[in-house]
Chains A and B, each alone.
Chain A
């Protein structure tokens, strides 16, 4: 399949209703950190962009939101063409310019503090990271607490960034500045807003 076909195919079949379904899943996940929201396959982006991450991008990104791609995605012309055709989002040159960052290989990603953190006056001007993870139940367990969580919640995503727990602690300390994370797994997603604290498990 050539790039032109690849970039045109695979968008939402029902743009209005699909976008609403994806947004509600993200909103519920953001409101209840650690909860895993099932998401049917609504988008078919070219690899290595996943169906879930592609759907999140279609639901949230447009020409107002510069998107930063990690190396793995940057290397695929078809991914850039697909995002360009379906969302119209400009590509951010640096992580600090990005409203959204799509990261296919979180293990190799830049440090969390390399992205836009917002300012103390406008903490909303920060990057939302969309990480393409493996499934959300078989990696190292993260014990979560904070707003949206009754006492504690657990999530165990695979393929997370290096030193994630330590980096996340620093992200918490920057509050109200900081980044928020959408974990895009196959068939489901979960969120880690900047208010969520990860408790280190005591042995």
Chain B
């Protein structure tokens, strides 16, 4: 580090980190409650994960190994740029392997590989308030949380059933945390909701523009809202991943040509690469040698 103008470790100044750290501790102590915090401007636009980046910057240390995913993928713009950001400002080791990472910052997916007890999952959240589209006034939603008045959310799910014959919400599917707070799991597909329930990893949520931090401690009940006669269910896919043949994973549709050709592939790229390395093949997989699971040490 010979640059004259150098940043503090992990970009944020220490007072900001302390403020965010205090908010994280309150969030852990009150699972699902949205703690207001003095979100800073970050060197990226709102919507690119400024909340998640601030949370990661406040918890990360020189020994951490960071993985960043964007819709499950390690190699899309948002993931690549945030990973590069932390490599630059914190000089930490980065990886694409779920099992190697100590901190995983994610935009809208939970990895397929089961998480373990030491890991922290940091979510980037656009709209933290699950009731916001039902009630635009912050004063009112705050009162609804205070009084545990969540009838409106059930009405919304009921209207889904009345209109579509089923609960049509497929992402940002509301959950109840530890029997108290209704929480937005961030726009993850509802496929990932069951993974939040009693997860061994700590889950932190940062919303930069909306200035809220919330958390789900490990081994905490996270229950998706539903009705007795319309129980919560996750998406299913009729075909396995076209590249690795995985079933019971979340798939993305990829358009192949302009004649309607398409294929379904794993949204979790690390999971898909690992499976192909282990010799699994989908019906469209090419015979190539993959160099996957890269871990780059700190310099």
Contacts and interface: CB of A to CB of B under 8 A. Distances in A.
Contacts of B26: 124, 126, 180
B180 A148 contact: no
A175 B180 contact: yes
Interface in B119-144: 142-143
A62 interface: yes
Interface size class of A (residues with CB under 8 A): 35 or more
Interface string A1-38: 00000000000000111011101101110111000000
A112 to B, nearest CB: 14
B31 A124 contact: no
Contacts, number: 105
A16 B7 CA distance: 12
A17 B8 CA distance: 11
A24 B59 contact: yes
A194 B14 contact: no
Interface size class of B (residues with CB under 8 A): 35 or more
B192 to A, nearest CB: 19
B187 interface: no
A41 interface: no
B21 interface: yes
A150 interface: yes
A24 to B, nearest CB: 6
Contacts of B154: none
Interface stretch (B161-169, B213-221, B290-298): B213-221
A107 B15 CA distance: 33
12 contacts: A17-B61, A17-B62, A20-B17, A23-B58, A24-B59, A26-B25, A30-B29, A32-B218, A64-B15, A122-B142, A148-B218, A195-B29
The 6 A-B pairs at the shortest CB distance, nearest first, are namely A193-B29, A147-B220, A120-B146, A124-B26, A148-B217, A147-B217
Interface of B: 8-9, 14-15, 17-19, 21-31, 33, 35-36, 58-62, 142-143, 145-147, 178, 180-181, 202, 217-221
Given A27-B202, A123-B30, 7 more contacts: A16-B14, A20-B60, A120-B147, A121-B142, A175-B180, A176-B180, A193-B28
Interface of A: 15-17, 19-21, 23-24, 26-28, 30-32, 59-62, 64-65, 99, 119-124, 126, 128, 147-150, 175-176, 180, 193-195
